[in-house]
Amino acid sequence: MANKHYGMVIDTKRCIGCHTCSVACKLENNLPDKNWWNRTLTVGGEDMDTPAGVFPNLKMGFITLACQHCENPACVKVCPVGATWKDEATGIVMQDPSKCLGCRYCMVACPYTGVREFNFEEPTYATGFAVGSIDAPIHEKSTVEKCTFCAHRVVKGELPFCVEVCPARARHFGDLNDPESEVSQLVLNRSHFRLLEEKGTEPSVYFLT
Amino acid sequence: MTTTTVNETPKKSNLPVWLVVSGLLFLLGVFAWIIQLRQGVGATSLHNLNAWGAYIAGFIFFMGLSAGMLVLGSLPILFNLPRFRPYAKLAAFVALASLVVGGLFILVDLGHPDRLWRLVRFGNLGSPMLWDLLLTVAYLIVATVFLRRLMTVKSDDALKPIALLAFFAGLADGLTAFVFATQVGREFWFSAVQPIAFFVAALASAGALLLLLMVGLKAAGYNVLECCDLAPLAGLTAATVGLGLLLNVSELVTHWFSRSTNALEIVNAMLGSPLFWVEVIAGIAAILLLLLPATRLQSGWMAAGAVLALIYLAAKRLLFVNMGFAVQNINYAGVQIAPVGGYTPGLVELGVILGLIGLFAFLLILGFNNLRLAPTARS
Ligand code: SF4
Ligand code: SF4
């Protein structure tokens, strides 16, 4: 079986900045209180959900930011112990907290601000009990973690949870190696950009415009 | 060897007070580290948007010191420089001590020091951090052998091969810079000038510390004879501090000239940081004290110049690390993932750092007391 290259396509024309994907990610992956693997960012004013410009000429949009599962991942190259690596079969950049030294070199290397987060303290949870998937990733003090494209769901043939829950149907997920896949077709037919392309990391997340 | 004689019976003072003070400092550091281990790295002021800080700066500083000392220790043997020759033993010993302390700076930075063994078992040779680890091990071996040979071998010719190795090990300090200079995501670090700048800073730190030790040891009653003309050392320190400042100017000009948003942010962050001004003022003051005819080569002023040079370097190292985080590549409003404001080392970090500096002083004093390191008279 040929290797897959999973990627995500996010339609900025459809995204309404509702944060559902961000919250769903927290839930599905049982994220500790302080962590956000997927953040909804306001492209506009200084604060969240504020526009840029002066009334009546206002502008506001959104991007959601999580690990870009780069084809040339800066993080993987620097990890001294291989605790983060690119899975050949899926193209997903994985992370194993039980191997991580907590040196934070990957956070330093990743150009995408804040997609990797370090558990500076013993993780705490708002609910006091585990939520989300039974096979959600573990969270360990003093290790780095990040989005895994919901690898635990993808192996079961399911979509990443953020894609599944998006009420605006702005998120698409699939195999970029397959020219017939929905994601490949969207990238082929719609104008798009990727974040920080100039850094040469070859991100696997496309934003439609 | 015609220009130096080995005086085997230098008068020793054993600095008991300093030994106790530095030992206590070290204990304080251990205490602070235990707090950090229990609470997590959250006990420091580091956060998600400033993932590295003072510990990494300390690591760069001490690795540089070690490299600079190896170069200063080996040069006079390789190229017959009698005016630098008396410090060779001292330099080799300081190189060894700073290496130990530099390595410990990485250890205290790790969230999981208990997993250090994974570096050996699962080391990823592609990671610049592993290059650095290998370099550290190489330094350790070379510095130990070098010191040992310096203590036992009388002829400089016989010392040449190991001195050559030590020299190259020192030059390889540039490798430390690659940990940073290879990072495409960190605009300030991503520059070919860094390996050179690191090397220049390494020489400056070694020169300054040697000067300080020479003056201090004499004051403490060690038999540092009038042998040693400190002028070349003072000149070297002033020159490398000056070169480092010039490299700063060149960094500022190249960034400023591009006028790109990120580059201007870097320039503003740099000029806006108190560390930058500490660096510039301490650096210039050090050069003046070391070179001006009124203060030149007078013990007190020279020590002050050396201390200022070390302050300049410490500020430089911390500023360098901070500047890597000065610009957020993606800077849109969203949920907070880090405290607002920049990064200043917190109490726990200061405690750990003081502890490691204490350990460094402790090791040096032990060396002075037990090994015949002090430079001896030239015939
Ligand atoms: S976005 Fe960052 S963390 Fe994710 S693969 Fe790319 S470099 Fe690595
Ligand atoms: S923090 Fe963990 S995953 Fe990141 S580079 Fe260090 S060991 Fe690798």
Structure tokens at B52: 């590295």
Using the predicted structure, report yes or no on whether residue A62 has a pLDDT greater than 90.
Answer: yes
Say yes or no: ipTM exceeds 0.85: yes
Give residue limits of the domains in chain A. 6-208
Please check whether residue B289 lies inside any domain of the structure.
Answer: yes
Please tell me the predicted confidence (pLDDT) of residue B81.
84
Q: Which stretch, A44-53, A167-176, B133-142, B362-371, has highest mean pLDDT?
A: A167-176
SS3 B50: strand
Is pTM beyond 0.90 here? yes
Distance from the first to the final alpha carbon of chain A: 33
Q: How many CA atoms lie within 13 A of A27 on its CB side?
A: 10
Tell me whether residue B179 is in a domain: yes
Ligand nearest to the CA of B127: 2
Looking at residue A7, its pLDDT comes to 97
Residue B221 lies in a domain: yes
Query: Residue B81's Cα: distance from chain center in Å?
Result: 24
Q: Residue B7: its pLDDT value, please?
A: 42
Instruction: Tell me what pLDDT residue B221 has.
Output: 73
- How many domains does the structure of chain B reveal? 1
| Residue A198 near chain B (CB below 8 Å) | no
Give me the pLDDT at residue A1, please: 56
Q: Spell out which residues of chain B touch residue A107, defining contact as CB-CB under 8 Å.
A: 48, 51
CB B187 within 8 A of CB B32: no
How many CB atoms are closer than 10 A to CB A130? 12
**Torsion angle defined by CA atoms of residues A14, A17, A21 and A25, in that order, rounded to the nearest 10 degrees:** 150
Q: What is the pLDDT of residue B4?
A: 41
Low-confidence ranges of chain B (pLDDT < 70): 1-13, 223-228, 374-379
Residue B25 lies in a domain: no
Looking at beta carbons, which residues of chain B come within 8 Å of A79? 124, 127
Contact B156, B115 (CB under 8 A): no
Answer whether residue B21 is part of any domain.
Answer: no
Give the CATH number, domain containing residue B254. 1.20.1630.10
Residue B330 burial by Cβ neighbours in a 10 Å radius (0-12, 13-18, 19+): middle
A79 lines ligand 1 (CB under 6 A): no
Burial of A198 (0-12, 13-18, 19+ CB in 10 A): exposed
Which is it for the CA torsion B64, B65, B68, B74, positive or negative? negative
CB contact under 8 A, B40 and A74: no
Whose Cα sits closest to atom 2 in ligand 2? A100
Query: In chain A, pLDDT over 90 holds for what percent of residues?
Result: 94
d(CA B140, CA B250): 34
CA B177, B174, B72, B230 dihedral sign is: negative
Q: Is residue B178 part of a domain?
A: yes
Kindly state the percentage of chain A with pLDDT values over 70: 100
Question: In this structure, what token pair is assigned to residue B37?
Answer: 């281990």
| Residue ranges of E strands in chain A | 6-11, 39-43, 52-54, 57-59, 61-65, 84-86, 93-95, 117-118, 144-145, 171-175, 192-193, 205-208
The closest alpha carbon to A71, from A55, A92, A49, belongs to A92
pLDDT at A144 over 90: yes
> In terms of residue numbers, what domain contains B141?
46-329+340-344
End-to-end CA distance of chain B: 11
Q: Is residue B360 part of a domain?
A: no
Rounded Cα distance, A105 and A144, in Å: 10
Is A195's CB within 8 Å of B40's CB?
no
Cα–Cα separations (whole angstroms), residue A170 to A159, A195, A207, B323: 14, 17, 10, 37
> Hey, is the C-beta of B129 within 8 angstroms of any chain A C-beta?
yes
Is the CATH code 3.40.47.10 the one for domain A6-208?
no
Find the residue in B nearest to A120 (Cα): B42
**Chain A CB within 8 Å of residue B115 CB:** yes
